[in-house]
Chain A
């Protein structure tokens, strides 16, 4: 096995009295996908913000390509080829698509004081890169604030893929996407992996995580709950672990009770309950 391209050891992050991360260790190798899974508020986004240079860890070691690093801003991480799709997307609503796409990493032409933003290249590239995702933008000058949620997410992903030379971090990139675009994102992840890029992929959907992931890190309440390779954990178990199987069983019982009460919609409720039961047992759909 090759050395990890990116690795953190015993990372902690505190916000005042809040312990967002405690003694977290994880890694990603070049050409592999590490899936980061966990409940809402488990600390996933905080962890990737440490990795992308937004937050400085309060404790622990961050190693990149074998040497210890300390990022003072996301610029430092980007310069080393680490690009991130943030959960909030980091888009400026009033700015056009092409301006957003290249914000912070603008291509330039010209020399000395006449160095300028290469606007033609930026517009063309934005259109091309989004085209590759199956997003056919009407007008690159359109303000990002007027795009649909999924379109906006696609712009953020296309941007990170374009700039992520070595490591690509994706925080719930498929959350707002249609089936087709989610498929495209998963294909992107596989392509990135084949190009030798290390990918960190956060999602709440085990059916998105399992096919592309090489190993699965599960966070719970700011701490590592487990780190499994694909061979160690079948999909059913992963699903159960992510869903908190017991909770779903309780829910399905409640729904069944409601269904027994009869009345309109009882049949549908019953079906929903069965679905949850199946999922709680860890059956893939």
Chain B
């Protein structure tokens, strides 16, 4: 499995953000996590990448337990683009990519070469010496995605990577992510754009109140619920 989550529970005070959640993302698959605001998608993801400590449950990344003795090993396998843009504003774009590669264990030489490659791929060469806080919103999204990929992770987790980007860039980002998937990378994506999930994901899971409500291939789900679009399935299973 690319990612296996079993019995995950995360509470914030009285609120149970993730509630005994099970999830299995097959290795090499493109998996979509859908659901309304506050469903617990980001909390689930942050538990996987080591930023949110689970209260209960077990998480495995490509067979490696994400918490406990082998946590470091697991974290090295993951590339993560957070929902909130959080970029180091004291460091120029090129250096931010290089530093990230080195945080994740690349040699300086590899990181430099790979950062150059990422700048080209995401058309950020003109901004290589700019500081992250001076980039436009779309550029920041590209940088976040580039950063997630620098160290060639085998599991890529993208939390609303296309939030707030224009239509053209959205299609560019889709192309990048699809290429990644074609190369065998396991991808977990959250999005509020259902047509995006339908176009990209092999499987989707609908989440609500910290639990997975239903799960399957988009076409299969449409069939199961007699719906014309994934959006109709969404409204049926997690809509208010």
Co-assembled chains A and B: no
Q: Which residues of A contact B (CB under 8 A)?
A: none
